[in-house]
Structure formats: structure tokens, C-alpha cells
Structure 1
């Protein structure tokens, strides 16, 4: 039951797949009516074959694949090497034959009737009694034991036995030695299907299945073919098709057995070149002749080069070709005359002959050209003379009609213009439409030549009453266009500078005394040179590059002791650095706000979250470039809306539950001291911003 099930499954799959292939081939086939109409072009077929397979464990599938490669190699030998030499022998051309490896002996070993491996395999599958893979191997040893390309563990010498199992046999293919394990050969080859199952499938409601299982098979008493025989017959049909065509080959060389790019195994490549017949093919081509053509074709093409063969040769073709090549000065080593063809050894000889033919063609056609040109020019002169007379008559009449038409149109145009001027103050109507359209067009043409060249140029031509609204729209559009062009022309560095300046303006304009002094000064990319930043700090930051650095003074939250630090800004956080190490890291996401005073001092308070008991509290800093620092920090942290400018005191968190204050006053010079109440007292100098 299991075998019947498997056989039915394989039959359904195989036949439906064959049905699908046939349907595709029918749809791709060139229809007969297209051939009869003469519209069909030459058909090109592409055959992509699987390569030679040598695996760790080679079974029935690899045996069939390598058998296919043997047949194709034999076809290659017959169509190239053998046919090349046979042509020379047929034409009676004396030359030294090139020996080559003929794998017909291997193909016969596999496919020969009653003696080949496939025949033995089929016989073992069909014979009565107990059969197994080992009995098949023993029968191969009995039948093929003396064959030079067949080896088994029993027939091999001691050296080969060490690398072969008792269930394997070895074939010496053209591309190398392959060991095949006979385990499963009989099961894979045995593809018989019970007639009762075929009859059931013929009665299937599925149209495809009923088509694949024909009813004639039920009554057919012929023994069904095995899988290997089916494969051999299919391969024979392919060989017949290829032999009837003119094939061209693309040989693929496997560079290595490791499937690695850029690696070439010289021994493996040399082995493939040797057994693919490439060296023999090259030797045949080099020993042979580059050009061959039948006598009649050669004489028909090149007979104008010899006076004795031009225009026609009336003797034997061989004598005509001999006369022609002697006139052309061919040397004995350059050509050979066969029974029906001429063989030219060197391409250079043929190229020189073609050059001579090209040089002769102008002389041959010179007489024809002279007569034809004279006839053509006389006929052309008569046609031109007649055409000139007709054109002159027609053109004179047309000029007179056009002149009268232009005068009528000019008179009507003047009437329209005058009538439109009279009704120019009325609404748009048929009486004044031409005049108003003319005025509008004149304004637009004048405007196109006098458009403002810059955003600051406010000159704009005065529009007519009918174009006031359109003029306003055009003025706005032109202004937007100039602004867009100006923005696109700004360099990335300057755009970045302006972005920062605009952000600083939104945060500090009319709110901080020192802002007007920062407006004419450019914001620098960094206030610290690269060598001023400690290398250990840069290594600690890793992939987070320093985007801005500045020297600041940090005030302790309790005693307000001054400590000189470096404030470094990256894309995701800021750090306070003390010479060689990072003292504090400030995550932008944790920053709750930035507070500065409205005076001209440089005090900055960075408000940090105080829910955690371990949190140190807010950070109090002093920087001489306070506008630049706060702007860059707010943009990087995306906290432009969290900048607080206080006109009085600034409250900051010392620790959880404790707060401190910074009081600001104006004075003659800047000072930062601790006040009597424990507050930090900051005196900011007066600034004259006028």
C-alpha cells in the first residue's frame, strides 16, 4: 500500500508537471500562419544545464545529472573537434590531427543496451525474487568488472579501498572520478504504477488529471519504463534537437570548491580546462583555417578583382578560384584548395582581399554613376524650371492678397483702438476689450523689464486701474520669489549662523541688556580649540562628538566657591569637565529649564530634576558668552521655550528640600559675591546700548 501510494504521488506530480511544460511550450511556439506570412524571425533557444556534481554522498540523482553532462560533452566533441577534423578530411586537406579525449566509452558504459548500467538497473528492478541494492552492485561487478572506467570496493586496489565504501561504485567521468552509493537506486528507479490506479485517475473529475492519465494506458500491455530509462529517452530526444541546430557554447569554470569569492584554485581550474576539451578545441582551431567558403560563393564575391574572372568565369569553379588567388598573390602557406571549398589560414589574408574589393568597387560603378547622374540632373533641371514658373505666378498673386488683407486688418485695428479709448472708463465690454487688453499687456511687458532686483527695492510701476489687484498679487509673489532665491543662495554655515541668531533674537530681544552687544558678533562653532580639550575626555565621550565648547565658572551651591570648568555640548547631552575628567553629565531630556537675568551679567542657572535624593541640584554657571552659550544649548536640547529671563532674583535648588537665590543689581563693574543673607549677590555693569 505504501509503495502504491508513493508511485501514485510521483505519477500525479510528474504528469501534471509535464502537462504544464507542454502548455507553456504550446503558448511560446511560433504559429504556422506567422511562418506563412513571412513575419517570423529566426528562433533562438537557450539551454541552461546543471553542472557536474561531486558531493559527499552521491546517489541516483547525481548519477543522472552526470550522465547528462557526459552526453552534452559528447555532443560538444562531435560538433566542434570531430566535425572540424572530419571537414578537413572530407575536403582532402592535409594537416596533423589533434588527439582529444572522447568520452563515448563512458556514455556507452551507462546507456548501452543490455550491457550498460541503466539496462542492468532496469533488469534488477524487474526480475522476480528478492532484489536489493547490494545485489544490483554485485551484478554490476559481474558485468562491468573489466571496464577501465568502472571501479568498486571489491575490484579496487588497496589504496582506493581505503576511500570507498562497500556500497559504492566509482565512475571515471570526463570531469573526474565520482563515487556513487547504490543505496536507494532500486527504489528511486522503480516507478511502476498499477493499472487499477491509472483507471481510477482516468475517471477523475479534474480535467487536468483525466487528461494526464489517458485511458489507452489501462489496456496497454507494454511494460512501463523505469525512471532511468525515461531520463535516458528524454536525453536522447534533447540530443536529436541539439544535433539538428547550430549550437553555441558558454563554458562555466568553477573557481574553487569552497564557494568563496575572489579565490581561484589553480589545480581545480587546470583540471576543468583539461577535461572540458578546451585545450583540444584551441589546438584544432589554431592548427586549422580561419576562413572557408565554397568555390561558387568565393568566386561570385571576389571575381571583380581579376580581369580573367570578370565579369563572368565560364570554366570549372576550381580553376576559376585558382586563377583568382594567383592574381591576388596568395602564397602557398596562406590557403588550401579542397574538393569543393577554399580554406584560408590567416585572417589577414582575407582582410587584404576585402580591402582590395572595397577599393575596386568605385571603379566598377563609375560608368553607371556617370550615366545616372547626367540623366538625374537633366530631369531635375526640368522639374525645377517648371516648379519655379508655377511658384512665381502663385507667389505674386499671394503677395497682392496679403497686402490688401494687412491694410484691412490695420484699418480695423485702428478703429478698435480709438473706440476702446472712448469707452475706456466703462466696464469691460466688446467696445473697449481690445484697448484694455492692450493697456494690460503693455503694463505687464513694462513690468517684466523693470522688476525690483532686491528685497529692499520698493520701486514698482504704477498699474492701470484694471490691473491694481493683479499688480498687488504680482508684487507679493515677486517678493516671495526674491526671498526664496535669497534663502537658497545662503551657504550652510551662514544659514546655521542666522538660525542661531534668529533663535537668540526670539529669546533675548528687549529682555536682556547684553543682547544688543551680541548682535553684530558672529557665534563661533566653539570657544575651545581642539587641543585644549583633554584626550581622555574625548575618548570617554566615544561616538558623541563635541559640537561646542566654552570655558565657564561653576559656583558651588552651598558656599558659592568658584571653580573653573569646561562646558562641552554634544548632540544628546552636555558635560562639565575639570581638566582631565568629566565632573557632571547633563542629559538634555532631563533639563527642566534655563534661567538668566535681564541684566548684562553672564550668570546661567541650569534647572535639573530634584525628585531623586541623589540629585545634586541645579547648576550655577558664569560665562562671558552667555547669549551664545544659552542659544546653542537651547537649540541642541530643544528647550528654546524653557529659557526664563528674570528681572529680579533667580531661585535655584541646592538639594532636595533646600533652595538658594541669586540677587541681581546694577553697578559700575561686574562682581559676584556671597551676600549677608546667604544669597549670591551679582552686580552687573551699566551698558549704553544707544
Structure 2
């Protein structure tokens, strides 16, 4: 039970005695609701079991569940009807005395089902013989028969037991079942009898609970503290007292001569018990109470509250006797069951038979005498709602049942002393980990161990008492705090145990690994030593062979130098792979030994051939065209013009002018020719050398000098005489035309940024050789037919182009660093 306290906030406590607010009906109801919502239908009040009908199958009545509760201490497992049955049977066997289980509750609360579960538990778990098997089957099969005769459909239950059932099970292998069958108890007289019965049973419960508490206190040597509780003996006396009680007054009215009516019975009650504190009629009530009581009604203050009874029909019901001749017929019946229900001795007795009320009182008295002679166990059944719906909890209905079942009164009696008690052995076994002195083993008496434990925890004197065999804890909060501390320490303890266990396992593994490592090291050192010895021997032999081979290395191949030469070949080939040239321009090669010179030459030729092949295969058509252009450039300018080396590292462009940058009119004028190359240029006039921005466009047939939308000059390749540039780094380009071409006025002087590229493109379109002249110092050009001009090339700190005082065009360029 203690293990479930950690979840008390969610599922409540398993024993109402552990409620802090044990006098609060709301706290009682809230705990019941929490457990019901988690399908926990059973809760204890000490040893009394409260059962809430779930109206659904919960799977908690299996054979495995029965076996789980068999032979287990009462509070060791969660509350269950099997726990009640098991402990009643165990204590009967150990103490050799009789026990009874009293099941009560209103119609539809599950009393019949509870009794069936108890019978099934006994049938399954008790020692079995063939005779007992037959008796067990009869007992279980008796329920449907009794229900067929005595059950009825009521407003609250479709299969309500309309009789009080008393079953006596004798465990000497003879089982018999008796039952009192009564008519449907639906009217006031019957309700009066029922409530009278409930009062007597409540009186028995309280007295036996108090007696059990007092006996336990005396046995444990703890001082008994008087308990304040409502003693309903005063109500029982009001009903049953000889000559003065309500039943006696009712009998007198039934047998007195003269006219007797229900009203005269009520007046007799007012006369004889009118001054009783728990009796009230309309006549005796005050102004407020009269409104709630009718003229033919009286009110009793039961332990569960006030109940109003209508006297109409009381006399008739009390005189409801079976006629004598009908009894004679039934006594002679051939049906054994009917015959056994009526005794022949009753027919021989000529006295007036007792009334129904007196019979009921005598029957109840006999039942109580039987119950008083036995040890009690109680089950209180509660109906959660009127519609028999699962998972529905009707607070008002359940609050009403809590009251009339006397559960709060029973709890107050049970909690008046101590909320929790447990044997020293069990308490110490559970909580010993909370104290260093008691953990892990306590060697002394359990009582001393518990005393040491609670002193260490810090219990105050008013929180506990120590008995002879048990510890008594007064407040639930003390137990809760202890359980919470235990739960916390349990996690720490588990962590320590796990750490210790893991350390033990790791230590064991470590020792095994260490021993294995020592053995392995020993074997390994031996193997290494043997290997080293073999290696030294082999090394000596190898060194001898190589010395002899080195001495005879230049001799023809023979046994003395064979291994050395093979090694030299292998070593050279292996080293050569790290010194193979990466491209065709790399002329490096690993120097071979003398004996391998021929082989080295062959390998070098193969490698070069392979590099050339790989290089050629990797050249695209576009790159090939660019390279061809560079070849032409090299033929034209290598060693002749500054800046040539820098040009080689940069690829030529297909054109330096996008088609979108050319005026559409110009494109229209030369639409029959495809532009092969274009570049922005500066044109210098032949006479004044004035600079003008132009475009040089090269087609397959001619070169065009363009100004915006005009073609300023068209030079057909057939009339182009040659091209001149300087040997310096300037971008001057002179296109010479043939004097026979009368369309041309003279040679064209241009300057462009990419002079190598422009001249190369032009030469490749001309498809002629020897047309480029790289001039040193100066060059002549034709200003007009018969008239020549000169361009002078110099170097200086900055680039300049100007007309000097001699009328010549002077071009100054900055000498490059590589020149």
C-alpha cells in the first residue's frame, strides 16, 4: 500500500484513513472520484472495503488475480474484494474461529456481484476434493436459482435482489446456503424494516470497530483514548425496546380489541414516544417542521439522516399472516423445498402467530447473534449513477450513499486514534534505507531498529507511539513525508547500486583484460624476438649478397650479381614513377644506373610520346584554332616586338566588339559579308595626325574602318599591300594599300589595344605570307599618291603620340620590364 502513496495526487490514497482531512465529506468524495476515474473501484477504510460499481468489465477478476492475492498480507497489495476473502479465510484457518463478510449498499450497487466474486475466489483457491468440488458447484449454481425466484426489476436495478441473502460456508467440506426471501420492499412499512435493519448493522459495525481498536491498543500496550462518535443505540431502542418501542406499540394496536386504525397507531406513538429526541410528527413538530411532515406521517432521525414514514397500511402489513390451512397444504407438498419452508410444529401451536414486525425483529436478532459470534469483514457497495453508465460519477447520488452507509462515521472512529500502524519488521524492511544505522542490515531487534530509524528521520513524540509489535503513526502527512523520502532515497540507492554493480562488472572485465594483455604481451614479445632474430639473419645474408653483387655489377649477368641487378631494376622503376614528367615541356628525367641506360632511353621516348598523344587528344577544336592563331603570332612577332611573351599567356578573343555595338546601318551595308573580327581603334589623319574614334571590322573579303553609321574606308584584301608595326610596345598599326587602287587616298594609321591579336586576325584572313613588317625606329607610309610620310618610334617615361616640329608622327612608348 505504501508504494502507491507517491501517486496519491493523481489516483488518491488506497485507504481513506490516510486522508489528512478525514472529517471532510468533500475530501472523501474527491478521493473516491480520483480512484474511480482511473478504474480503481476499491478503497479501504482500515479493513472495510468500499466498492464502486464500474458498470463495465475491468479484467480484474481473473484466475491470475486470485492467485496474486492468495496468502498475501492484507495491506501488501492494492484494495480488492479478493483481499477481503483471502484474509478472512487465512485468519479463520490460523485463529480457528468463524468469520463473516457483510455486504451492504443500495439496489444496483453491486452487492450480488461482490458475493459472487467472493464465492468464486473460495471455489478456486481453497483446497479441493471431489466432495468439495460438488459442494462448490452447488453453491455457485444456487445464485441463478435464488435470483430467478427472488429478483425483480425496480426503478434502480433491472435485476434487483428483493431478499436479504445469508450464506453460511462451513470449511469442513460441507457447504450449505440458506436465504431469507421477503416480498418487494418498496413501501413505507418495508422501508421502516430495512432502515431498522441498517441501524442494527451500523451499531454492530461501530461497536465491533471500536472493540477491535481497543483490543489492539491493549494488546500493543498503548493507552486507550476515548473516541467521540454517534451511538445509534438510542434509535435501535426507539424501534425495538420491549413494551416501549415502535414495533411493540404497533403489535399492541394490531391485537387490541375494538377498532384500530393507522391514525390511532400514530396517536399512540405520539402518546408513548412523543418526547423522544429522534421522533417527530406534524403535531409535535414546530412551525417549520410541520410543512415537511404529513398528518399520517412520523419522522425518525436515523444515523444517516431524517426519514419520514407514512403510517397508512402499517397495521395491514404487520398483520399480513399466511392462513393456517394454506400452511397445512404446503406442509404436505411433495416438493421438498416448499415442505422444508414450513414446520409441522407451527401447525400444532394454537397460539396467535407473531406479527410481521415481531418476526422481522426476532429474525434480525438471530442474525446479529450469529454475526456477533464471528469475526467481521465489511464491504460497502456504492452505485456511481442512476443510469448504470460506465465512467460517470454522480456527486449528489454518491454523497447520499456515503451518508446513509455511515462511511464518514466509520472513518472518524477508525481515525480517532492513529492513521497508520504496521509491524516493526515490515516498517523497518521498507524504510531502513533512510537511516545509515539500519542500512543495509539491522542486526538487533526490529523494535530498536524502528526507534533508531524514526529518531534519525525526526519524528516528534506526538506523531507516533511504539507498541509491543507495531509502530502507530497518528498523522497521514507523517507517513507521506516518510514515503516521499523513501522514494527519493530509492532513486539515489538505485543509482548507487547501479554504479557499484557497474564498477564491479567493469573491474571484472578490467582484470580479465589485464590478464589477457599480460599473456598476449608475453607471447607477442617472444614472437617479436624470434622475428627480429630471423630478420637479422636475413639482413646479414642479404647484405653479403648485395656487396658481392655491387662488386660484380658491371659483369655479365651471373649468380653473383643477379639479385643486385634485379633489385637495381626494381628500385629504379619504383623511383621513376615519382619523377615522370607531367607535360611535354618538362624535360627532366631520373638518371639511370649504367646497366639500365638503354632501357631508360626507351622508357623516356615512350613517356614523351604518350604525353604528346595525351596533350593532342585533350585539345578541342576551339583551342586548336586559338593555338593556330598563336602560331601565326609567333611567326610574325617572336623576337621582333616587345610584349610578345605576355601575349602568349592570354588567349585571343573571337571579337572585341559585340554585334549589338555595331550600327544597324553598317550591318545592312555589309550584310552580304560575315564579320569575322571587330575591335575599337583610333585612326590618325594622314596629314594633321588628328585622332578619331573608329571601329575596325574584318570580313572574309575586306577590312572596314567605320565611324558610327558610316563606312569611312573599305580596304579590299586584294589591294592590301602590307601591314607595318613597330618593334616597341605601342599599339600602332599601319595598313598599306596598293597605289594602283585609285579608290584609296593613302595608307591607314590605326592604334588599338590588342595589336598582336588584330594583326594576326588580319594576316589569317589575307591568307598570304610576308605581309607584316616590324619596323625598327621609324617607318614610311603613303600620305597620298607620290607623297610619303614618316612615323618615328621612341621610348620614354610615359606613352605619347604627337606631331613633332618636323611634321612627323612621333610615338613614345614605355619599355616593358621583360625587354
Query: Higher relative contact order by CA 8 Å / sep ≥ 6: 1 or 2?
Result: 2
**Which of the pair has more CA radius of gyration?**
2
TM normalised by structure 2 equals 0.32
TM normalised by structure 1 equals 0.37
